[in-house]
Amino acid sequence: MPTQTPIERYVALDLGSNSFHLLLAEFRGQRMVRLHTDRAMVRLAEGLNAHHHLDPAVSERALAALTRFQPVLQKLPADHIRVVGTNTLRAAAANADGFLEEAESILGVPVEIISGIEEARLIYSGVMAAADGPPRLRCIIDIGGGSTELVRGSEAPQQLQSLNMGCVSYSRRFFADGLISENTVNHFKRAQRAARAELQELQHIAAEAEVIGCSGSVKAVSRVLNGGEVADILREDINRLAEEVSQVEHIAELDLPNLDEERRPVFAAGLAILHAIFCELDIQRMEVSPYAIREGIVHDLAGRLHGGDRRASTVDAVVQRWQIDQNQVRRVNDTALKLLQQLRPEFPLEGRQRLRWAIQLHEVGLALTHSSFRKLGAYMIKHADMAGFSNGEQEHLAYLVRNQRGTIKPPKEHYGFHPSPDLLLCLRLACIIHRDRTERTLQGVNLADQGDAFRLQIARDWLDKSPAIEELLYQEEQHWQSQNRPLRLLAV
C-alpha cells in the first residue's frame, strides 16, 4: 500500500485592532482546508489612549476572547501555532508587557508583533491562496481596525503599503460621538478626504490590476450592497451607498439591509475609507476574497516546517544585495555553532537558527561604513522591512549584530526580547577567532558553563600560534566581567 502523507494541522490567530480571528486549518496534499474559524469583536484600538496605553477594561475583553480560543490550540505543537499582533499592538507594544504576558499565559505560545509591511505580505499570501486562474497583476486591499494594507503583485508581491487608517481609528477620530452629519459639518466626508490624502502617493498601485478586497469592512459593505451575499462591489453601487450614509445624522440611525449589529459602530468609518480608495485609485470593480491574513499565516507556518521559510530567503537576499563576505560568514558560522554545541548541546533549534542568521548579517554595515559598521548594521536590521520576520525577531538579530565585539551594550529587556548570553558569547568568540579572516580549528579549545561563569579553556600551543588572538581573548574576558555570568579564560 502507498504511504499516506500525514495530515498536518495549523492554527493562526490574528489579534487585530477591531477583531480577533482564529483559524484552524489542515493541508490535504497541496490544498488548505479550513476546519474551524472563530471571531471576537474586541475593538482593541478603542482602548488605546494618547500615550499608547491599553485601557484595562478593553484588555480584559481581549483576554476573555483568548480564553475562549485557547481549547483549539492546546492539542497542537507550538511550532504549528502562530499568534500575531498588528496595528494596535504595534502602537502599544512598549507599554503592553503585562497584557502580552497574560495573553501568552492563556494561549501557551508567544504573541508576535509584526510590522505593517509584514502584515501586508501575509494578507497577500492569504488572498492569493484562494485566487483562481493563471498568475496576473492584482491589487489586494485590506481595511483593518487600525491600518489599511495595499499590495500590488502577480506571482509575488511587488509593492507593499500599510497606511495608518482603519475603521476603529477613524471611528474614534471622526465619529467619536456617533454623529455622521450635523448642520454644516459632514464627518463622513471629512473622513473620506483624510483617507484620500493618505492615498495620494499610491494612485498607480491599482492601475491595470484586478482589484481584490478582503476582511471585515470590505465584506460588510459587500453584504449591504449584495443582499447579504459576499460578492463584487461596483463603483456605482458604493457611490450610492456612500452618499446615502453621508446624509444620516447619527450612526444609530443607519438603516441598511444585512448590516451586522456588531459592525454598526465602525461601518461608517470603514465605508468612508473604502469609498475613498475607489475614488482615489479609480477602481470600477472590486472582487471580495474569503481569505485574508489568517490563511497567509497558515501558509507561512507550513513553509517554515517544510523547507520554504520566507525568513531564510529574506536573509539570503540581504546577503546578496550588500555583498557580504561569504567565506567569513562560513568561518564564523562553523566556529560559533561548534562552540554552542560544546556549551549547550540541547540548545533549541530556533535559537541556533537565530545565531546563523545573525552571523550571515553580522557584517552588513561594512557595505556603508567601517568605523561604525556594527551600530549601522544593527539599525538596518532592526528597521528594515524583512519579510517573514516579526519585530521581536529583528530586534534579537540587531542585538547580536550590535554586540559582536567591543563593550557589551546592556539590553532593554521587554516582552518577547530576552537576549541569550549563550548566543552572544559564541558569536563574539567566533568573530575573535576569525578576526584576521583565516581558517582555524577548535582542536584544543573548549567552552563550558561552570554555573557561576563561562569557562573558555584553550591549549597553550593553540594560543602560541596566534598571539594577536590571545590578546583579543583576554580583552574579551574583561568585557564579560560586567555581565551576570563572567567569562574565565584558562590556558593549559
Query: What type of residue is 115?
Result: S
Mean pLDDT within 12-20: 96
- The predicted pLDDT at position 31 comes to 85
- The predicted pLDDT at position 308 comes to 86
- The predicted pLDDT at position 2 comes to 43
- The predicted pLDDT at position 423 comes to 98
> 337, 339, 388, 387: which is closest to 358 by C-alpha?
337
Q: Is 170 exposed, middle or buried (0-12, 13-18, 19+ CB in 10 A)?
A: buried
Interacting residues of 346 by C-beta distance below 8 A, sequence separation 6+? none
What percentage of the chain carries pLDDT values higher than 90? 90
pTM of the model as a whole: 0.93
Work out the angle at residue 28's Cα, subtended by the Cα atoms of residues 25 and 29, and round it to the nearest 5 degrees.
135
Mean pLDDT within 196-208: 95
pLDDT in tens, 60-77: 999 999 999 999 998 899
| Confidence check: pLDDT of 364 > 70 | yes
Rounded Cα–Cα distance for residues 438 and 408 (Å)? 25
Mean pLDDT within 233-261: 96
| Confidence check: pLDDT of 5 > 90 | no
Alpha helices in 35-130 (DSSP H): 56-73, 87-92, 97-107, 116-128
| Confidence check: pLDDT of 432 > 60 | yes
| Confidence check: pLDDT of 1 > 60 | no
Interacting residues of 164 by C-beta distance below 8 A, sequence separation 6+? 87, 146, 147, 198
Query: Mean pLDDT in the chain?
Result: 94
- The predicted pLDDT at position 413 comes to 94
Mean pLDDT within 361-368: 96
pLDDT band at 6 (very low <50, low <70, confident <90, very high): low
pLDDT in tens, 43-55: 999 999 989 999 9
| Confidence check: pLDDT of 258 > 60 | yes
| Confidence check: pLDDT of 120 > 60 | yes
- The predicted pLDDT at position 130 comes to 84
- Output 456-461 pairs: Cβ under 8 A, ≥24 positions apart: 456/429, 456/487, 456/488, 456/489, 456/490, 457/490, 457/492, 458/489, 458/490, 458/491, 458/492, 459/491, 459/492, 460/491, 460/492
- The predicted pLDDT at position 3 comes to 45
| φ, ψ at 39 (rounded to 5°) | -145, 145
Residue with C-alpha cell 491589487? 139
| Confidence check: pLDDT of 185 > 60 | yes
Which DSSP helix (H) or strand (E) runs through 110?
Answer: none
> 121, 65, 55: which is closest to 88 by C-alpha?
55
What percentage of the chain carries pLDDT values higher than 70? 99
Q: Is 250 helix (H, G, I), strand (E, B) or coil?
A: strand
Would you say 343 and 337 are in contact if contact means Cβ atoms under 8 Å apart?
no
> 476, 440, 427, 432: which is closest to 455 by C-alpha?
476
Mean pLDDT within 130-159: 93
Count how many residues are written for the chain: 492
Q: Is 42 helix (H, G, I), strand (E, B) or coil?
A: coil
